[in-house]
Structure 1
Amino acid sequence: MARSQPNDFTDRVRAFNHPYILLIGLFLATVVTLYIMQRPRKVYLIDYACFRAPSKYRVPFATFVEHARQVSQFSERSIRFMTRLLERSGLGEETSFPPKAAYIEGYKYCTLEEARKEVELVVFSTIDDLFAKTSIDPTTIDIVIVNCSGFSPTPSMPDMIVNRYKMRSDIRSIHLSGMGCSAGLISVELAKNLLQAMPQGARALVVSTEILTPNYYLGNERAMLLPYCLFRMGGAAMLLSTSPAKARFRLKCIVRTLTAADDRSYNCINQEEDNKGNTGVNLTMDIIDVSANTLKTNITTIAPLILPASEKLLFALSFVSVKLLKMGKKLYMPNLLTAFEHICVHAGGRAVIDGIQGSLRLSDEHVEPSRMTLHRFGNTSSSSLWYELGYIEAKRCMCKGDRVWMIGFGSGFKCNSAVWECIVPAHNEDGPWAGCIHRYPVRIL
């Protein structure tokens, strides 16, 4: 009987119909194929480039104030306010204005034509640098996304890019406007989602900038003079792909938070007309509290995605002890700094950086890239995060495997954050910090 068992098993296998075996194999192959197809692809940052204005566009404080004095619409009280604001702003003497906006009575030259020239100066030169760094043929780009809040011409800025670089006719182009200083990470997420629907290895060009030429404020409302004093010319271009070839960073996660349902949050940054009919952006005093509260909401979402298992375990044990067993008085707050080596906080202003540093209990070293970016380039809107990343790399602080937390804030009110993992650190100091990185960090009074 013992010898007959193998024969019995063989007979049963032979008796099983071959079509059933084929169907089972096809079913398993289909399941595996569907799983692979439906699984989100990883998205990589091939490289990035930031605009560095020629020195002839530099606007020192003395020049800014003297030119403001020549504008008859500004009162002496407003001049004194802007002077004090600049002295305490955290900006340095090397920030830049668009060519005609830096003229005396520059508002007279802030035309549509001049705004387009600013696009050509900032956007095209930055994309040229990116293509030179990556050796990418523009015709291989599948997606073009531009975010610029205050300038939305016809044809659009993505159309201008496609025309300049003679890209393919089947390219997907999108312009995001009115999304504020956090729009850069919104564009990254949009590119990430679009790349999921394209063939493996597709490429997306993302451009973040703010065109200042058409946004000249001529009133005397202090809350509307703030952006006029803080914003400066800048831009960044990023190349994303689902192919890891030549990639420098991997996108780990991205989380967006919008608190526009709350009136206080919704109204803290608002484009409007003052009582004289002058259009500008009104920044209320609520912005510091609103940004801190919105960041807390964002953190509750992103923390479970990026915290190490040890921090999650400590929090779980603390929760059980305090909430269920009533054995403790205070919940353990996970240490977010265990999830990152570097942090890039939007360089929107000195007060914003101070507020975030206090809320997250960050050291001066953690916010150094933000403060130095604000000092060297001013508030460049959504592109500021990439200047900060460039600062970290120019300082040779980035290593393979390091994680970077980017935090952007914008009107609405929005807080968007992304986490990148370094694959290949920069090999040189080419970029916006070339020629000046040796002077940083500087002491800001």
Structure 2
Amino acid sequence: MANVKLIYYYLITHLFKLCLFPLITFVAIKASNLKQEDVQNLWFHFQHNIVTLTIFSAVVTFVSAMYFVTRPRPVYLVDYSCHLPPQHQKVTVQKIVDNVNKNRELGTSTTILAEDSSLDFFFRVLERSGLGEETYLPDAILNVPPLQTMVAAREETEQVIFDAIDNLLANTKVNTRDIGIIIVNSSLFNPTPSLSAMVVNKYKLRSNIKSFSLGGMGCSAGVIAIDLAKDLLQVHKNTYALVVSTENLSRNMYIGDNRSMLVTNCLFRVGGAAILLSNKSGDRRRSKYKLLHTVRTHTGADDKSFRCVQQEDDETGKTGVSLTKDITSVASRTITKNIATLGPLVLPVSEKILFFITYIHKKFFDDKIKHYIPDFKRAIDHFCIHAGLRRTWGGLEKNLGLLPIDVEPSRSTLHRFGNTSSSSIWYELAYTEAKGRMKKGNKAWQIALGSGFKCNSAVWVALRNVNPSVNSPWEHCVAKYPVKLDI
């Protein structure tokens, strides 16, 4: 059966070539048999139909010109940088335990996890989360008691964003005055002036820059920011777009006992990424990737989808982000819709034909047969699945027939850095590069989930054999991965 399938894929993939060769042979044979008088007649026909030939040439020229003028501008990913927090922010499970106990000793006014049952639940989730012993928390949370002030939140965000941008600018040598678009996404921390204004002020960006701050859009906002940048780069010529994806923990750690809100404390860690995009044709040579597709799916019209991830106050008035039991089914349904839209854009003809045949057979002949699940590995080489809940990429691994190596970037990122929200897909892409797996022509699929509920995808193609950038977050630890997790 496997050999038959391989033959089928080969025939469909090379069908055009297989048909073209006999056609060329036939034309060549016919041309060789033409008599001299036939050639003269053909030339005579062209000479006396010069008007028709001129009109035809003009139409071809006009259509070609319109195509080149109206076609979408290519969007190149010049480079990107992920924030690597300082060593003193690294936390082990034991350090978290000690920190929680110190806070509990302070008394009711600043108590974290006041109830013993909540403490037990917190540690059980932490042990099963898939996070390792080298993730990072901000100074404000490590402080006893934690500092949930605006000053502390700004310090955390500035440290993350400025470090990522500084490293990106050092690697690309781009003049900040050449950046025409700045987009910053942070779901829970949106101060005034905005985070994008903070970047403009720090790097003295030009006054006519197109500046955007995206808030409240969850862990999938990184792809939303890329999609927005792509659209803006179709309008504004010869410019750069700087996209920054991050999340703030200092001001948003939950300090109550509601279990649906405690889960986020177990998973989220410090992280951020800065990405430089370009629509300049001259940047193709030095860019890492070209953006092929972005697909955004939003199921927020459904109440369960809208409320499955929600920031709210608990019964004691403490603010946190609650996760309902519906999140698994909502995520599965939203992912399915996103993949159904993306599939026709990336899958080869061979997979589309198999899907269509199975669909017709099921609809008109035998409704008991299973739907054909396309083999996305024939279209995608590397998978960057949002490192959030383990069951998210675990479900995709099973449903899409992925191998352990395909979800290795997600598993390793969750273990090493935790859930860094919208920036996690960039740590995963950096992991693939650090392993030396990204070759010219390879396609990488970033897929992220977020509140709302949303599932967003971005597909990139490597323009060369991609090596890790200078100061990659995996530079000193990639050799230890993958690790085996007993969870």
TM-score, normalization by structure 1: 0.91
Which 10-residue stretch deviates more, 358-367 or 171-180?
Answer: 358-367
Q: How does 1:35-434 map to 2 (within 5 A)?
A: 35-69=67-101, 70-71=103-104, 72-75=111-114, 76-106=116-146, 109-199=147-237, 201-242=238-279, 243=281, 244-324=284-364, 329-428=369-468, 430=470, 431-434=472-475
8 Å contact 2:348–2:379 — kept in the other structure?
yes
Cα separation, partners in 2 of 1:424 and 1:105, compared to 1, 3 Å: same
Q: CA RMSD in A?
A: 2.6
The structure-2 alpha-carbon separation of the partners of 1:8 and 1:317, relative to structure 1 and needing over 3 Å to count, comes to closer
Letter in 2 for 1:384: S
Q: How far apart are residue 412 of structure 1 and its match?
A: 0.8
Deviations 1:293-335 (A, max 9, x none): 1111111111000001111122233344444566994543321
Distance 1:77 1:122 in 2: 34
TM-score normalized by the length of structure 2:
0.84
Question: What SS is found at the alignment partner of 1:441?
Answer: coil
Comparing 190-199 with 56-65, which one deviates more in the overlay? 56-65
Residues 65 and 79 of structure 1 are in contact (CA less than 8 Å); yes or no, is this contact kept in structure 2?
no
Secondary structure of residue in 1 paired with 2:78: strand
Conserved in 2, the CA contact under 8 Å of 1:207 and 1:235?
yes
Residues 348 and 330 (structure 1), Cα distance of their counterparts in 2 relative to 1, 3 Å cut: closer
Matches of 1:131 and 1:424 in 2, distance apart?
21
Is residue 90–residue 134 contact of structure 2 (8 Å, CA) maintained in 1? yes
Q: Deviations over 1:48-86 (max 9, x none)?
A: 110001111111111112212224242222221111111
Task: Give the match for residue 476 of structure 2.
Answer: 435
Q: 1:420 to 1:36 in 2, by over 3 A?
A: same
Alpha-carbon separation, structure 2, partners of 1:8 and 1:402: 49
Conservation of the 8 A alpha-carbon contact between 1:405 and 1:418: yes
Deviation at 1:140, TM superposition (A): 0.6
Q: Is the 8 A contact 1:292 1:359 kept in 2?
A: no
Deviation at 1:240, TM superposition (A): 0.8
Per the TM alignment, residue 205 of structure 1 is displaced from its structure 2 partner at its CA by: 0.4
Structure 1 distance, partners of 2:454, 2:364, is: 35
Percentage identity across aligned positions?
A: 46
Local SS of the residue matching 1:365 = helix
Q: State the 1:8 CA deviation.
A: 12
Residues 9/308 of structure 1: CA separation in 2 closer, same or farther (3 Å cut): closer
**Once the two structures are superposed, what CA deviation does each residue of 1:197-250 show, in whole Å capped at 9, x if it has no partner?**
011x32100000001111121210011011111110000011111232411111
Q: Aligned partners of 1:317, 1:43: CA distance in 2, in Å?
A: 35
Contact 1:307 1:339 in 2 (8 A): yes
The alpha carbon displacement at 1:253 in A equals 0.6
In 2: Cα distance, 1:52 partner to 1:110 partner: 22
Over 3 Å counting, the alpha-carbon distance change for 1:24 and 1:225 in structure 2 is same
Unaligned runs of at least 5 residues, structure 2: 1-39, 105-110
Partner amino acid for 1:65? V
Q: How many Å separate the matches in 2 of 1:335 and 1:9?
A: 51
Per-residue deviation, 1:260 = 0.7
- From the superposition, tell whether residues 209 and 8 of structure 1 become closer, same or farther in structure 2 (CA, over 3 Å): closer
| Equivalent residues, number | 435
Amino acid at match of 2:245: S
More moved, 302-311 vs 361-370: 361-370
Deviation at 1:132, TM superposition (A): 1.1
**Cα shift at 1:409:** 0.1
